[in-house]
Amino acid sequence: MPRRGFGKKGGYKGPVPGPDAKSEENEQQQQNQKPAKKPPLTHFLCVPLVTAESKPRLQESLGKFKEDVMKPRKVAVTADSNSEERGTEGDQHTDPARAEGEQQMREVPGIPGKAIRPVGTLHLTLGVMSLMNSERVQEAVSLLQNLDLAALLQGEKIAEPRPAIVEGGTQQPNAPEETQSQAAQQKDQSYSGEPSAQEETAGNPTATLSNLPSGSQVSEPLVISLKSLVSMHPPRKTSILYAHPEDPTNRLHPFCDTLKALFTGKGLMVEDTRPLKLHATVVNTIYAKSGGHGKGHGPNARAPIRVDATDLLPRYANFVWADEIRVEKIAICKMGAKKIVGEKGDVVREEYEEVAAAEIKM
């Protein structure tokens, strides 16, 4: 006989509820439906920026930047922004002389030295990959080495967009960039003011020739400059600062968009529907954590240390890290920069290991 619920004065005298088979089954189904753990990122496709000609200038610029930003600095803030940082609506004991909106000086700590990237690591990331075995690595290498990069750069060959599967099994072309999720675009929005000409043409490889300045020869080598300082997050609390490339011929971004589409279409690159943001990371605080190791690529990168760069962005807005950088090749590199040790046991440089590279033969 089943047990009876409640006592003598209780209103319920039915069976004591036990485990429901259906609820257990539903719980098991929910556990089974949990998304599988994503495979680790192993490689990335990039435009290397360090050449024999560009390295001395990049080294000099990074050295000056490091010397400047590692020291504590005085930053001007307003009284109301101070109260916001404290998480209050205001300070009841505020000095009457300090009117709301009045500027005050606040000292901020310098950027950790380990957060400033070594010159050998500078590159433009086109996308990240998870190549879990040698066969997949070879597939990516073969695709890269069989591409006619010079033709792609000139806009002669444009990869067709991969058709998207929609409900009902029919296929339609991918939605244009301007109809993509606004939230996704805002998530990767940098705090740099007006977009550059290269950013405005992002996601539109066919814009290559129409955007070329009058008289430009698309058969010329691709030569770019690395300029400015931009924050990946709100500048008061950021973990990543970067320089952006400038290309007067407007070929770089469409070229990189095409390469990204090719590798994604072959299932070799982790799909990312956000517009490609070409950037050379100068500061990433993930490397300033204990041990100094971190994987700063990909949407899941985490860097708990935040720095205040509000005064640095305007100071370095027109800074030229290096000009006349010739884009010589496209490379597949392993995740995790490696420290190169010299004969005396000291670290002489740090760089990403190239698995394969293909020259742009113009």
The C-alpha angle with vertex 313 and arms to 312 and 319, in degrees rounded to 5, equals 95
DSSP letters for 242-257: EEEEE-TTS-HHHHHH
Q: What is the mean pLDDT of residues 169-182?
A: 30
More confident residue, 318 or 164: 318
DSSP conformation letters of 298-318: STT------B--TTHHHHTTT
pLDDT of residue 36: 72
Q: Report angle CA 250, 279, 255 to the nearest 5 degrees.
A: 35
pLDDT digits (tens, 9 = 90+) for 253-269: 999 999 999 999 999 99
What is the predicted pLDDT for the residue at 162? Answer: 38
Cα gap 47→223, rounded to integer Å: 12
Nearest residue to 277 via CA among 233, 312, 236, 317: 233
Structure tokens at 310: 């509000």
Does the structure show a pLDDT above 60 at 6? no
pLDDT given at position 147: 97
- Helix %, strand %, coil % for the chain, to 5? 25, 25, 50
Q: Could you give the angle at which helices 134-145 and 252-265 cross, rounded to 10 degrees? A: 140
d(CA 21, CA 25): 6
Mean pLDDT of 6-14: 58
Highest mean pLDDT among 87-96, 149-158, 202-211: 149-158
Max mean pLDDT range (6-10, 183-187, 191-195, 238-242): 238-242
The two tokens of residue 262 are 């090719």
Q: In the block, which residue shows the tokens 């929005």?
A: 189
Judge contact between 229 and 280, C-beta under 8 A. Answer: no
| Model confidence band, residue 216 (pLDDT cutoffs 50, 70, 90) | very low
Most confident range (mean pLDDT) of 33-37, 166-170, 249-253 is: 249-253
Between 288 and 9, name the one with better pLDDT: 288
Which is more confident, 20 or 39? 39
Quick one: pLDDT band at residue 19, thresholds 50, 70, 90? low
342 in Cβ contact with 320 (< 8 Å): no
Does residue 119 register a pLDDT over 70? Answer: yes
- Higher-confidence residue of 334 and 291: namely 334
Q: Is it the case that residue 270 has pLDDT exceeding 50? A: yes
Other beta carbons within 10 angstroms of residue 320's beta carbon come to: 14
Tens of pLDDT, residues 312-324: 999 999 999 999 9
Q: Give the integer Cα–Cα distance in Å for 308 and 73.
A: 10
> How far is residue 81's CA from residue 79's CA, in Å, rounded to a whole number?
6
User: For residues 190 and 186, what is the distance between their CA atoms, to the nearest angstrom?
Assistant: 9
Side-chain-facing half-sphere of 257: CA atoms under 13 Å: 27
What is the average pLDDT score of the chain?
77
Contact 199, 252 (CB under 8 A): no
Q: Does residue 102 contact residue 79 with C-beta atoms inside 8 Å? A: yes
Asked whether the predicted pLDDT for residue 94 surpasses 70, the reply is no
| The pLDDT of residue 114 is above 50 | yes
pLDDT for 218 equals 61
Residue in 112, 113, 299, 117 with CA at minimum distance from that of residue 226 = 117
Span between the terminal Cα atoms of the chain, in Å: 89
> Domains of the chain, with CATH numbers?
43-72+110-175+182-359 (3.90.1140.10), 73-108 (no CATH)
pTM: 0.70
145/137 Cα distance (integer angstroms): 12
Residue 59: CB atoms within 10 A of its CB come to 15
pLDDT, residue 207, reads 44
Cβ-contact 284, 307 below 8 angstroms: no
